[in-house]
Amino acid sequence: MQIDIIGIPIDLGADRRGVDMGPSAIRYAHLQNKLEALGYTVEDKGNIEVPIAEMCRIDEPTLKYIDCIVPMSRRAAGAVATSIQAGHFPLVLGGDHSLSLGSIRGAAKHKKLGLLWIDAHADFNTEKTTPSGNIHGMPLAALCGLGDARLTQLWDEPLPVLDPKRVAVIGARDLDPGEKANLREAGVMVMGMEQIDRFGMVTVMEKAIERVSRDADGIYLSFDMDAMDPRHAPGVGTPVPAGLTQREGHLACEMIAETGKLIGMDIVEVNAILDIQNQTGMLAVEFVLSALGKRIWNGD
């Protein structure tokens, strides 16, 4: 299988700057060499064009930078759709999580997707519930058909892009009140840190994978590095204490790899400015490798 690396250096979806350097930080951690060592053919497609914040304006406080984020989303969707249509595996490097408005839409263009969303946040706000106006807190809601029409429908594609019943959020621990109501109404599975602590990562992942796999053509993984406890991943824009351990992150990715159904992946929110000697960028690479089949020990 060929892996297409697609960088999206966007930080327009967040208040804190720096995640636009994430694709470079992940590449710098020897991503391509390590993927090739696993036996994959790898082609780096470079970066999607993204304007910097100084080129954009905030005209709508509850939808910050929307006029720049929507064109980026269209370009991202096109790049991912092209990769999948060629029979390749799109690996999207971020950048803030607003990029998933495009990447997942591209993956879903010709496939019925199940989605695993590993994140400290559910990103299920709309312009009516957002406390910040930051669009990186809205992509999953928009993909499930909730929110401003410019985000829910980039072209004339059918709505919603995703069936909420085939979406599972894992590792959540920082949800806004209106966001919680949106999630309940949509019927999205949320397996937060409480469920992981009570039942363990194996049980949580088994339930999530079973849920998103129902009648799906494939699974897409969107992994936000702030799902991790800040001790393990200090270089993220919105750290939340009491997150996943490094081993839990690996186990989740290993179990996804075991399904044989993974067709694409985002790895997002690496903030090189806040990181310590690229610790978070290197960990992001290790999670990608685990999702694509690397095992520490499997008994062979």
To the query of whether residue 88 is one of the catalytic residues in this protein, the response is no
Averaged over 191-214, what is the pLDDT? 98
pLDDT score of 298 more than 80: no
Q: Is 119 a catalytic residue?
A: yes
Annotated catalytic residue within 11, 119, 127, 248: 119
Is 232 marked active-site? no
Catalytic-residue membership of 215? no
Average pLDDT over residues 245-252: 97
Query: Catalytic: 250?
Result: no
Catalytic, out of 20, 96, 123, 266: 123
Three-state secondary structure call for residue 223: strand
Active site residue 97: yes
Q: Spell out the domains of the chain, with CATH numbers in brackets.
A: 2-291 (3.40.800.10)
For the stretch 27-83, pLDDT in tens is 999 999 999 999 999 999 999 999 999 999 999 999 999 999 999 999 999 999 999
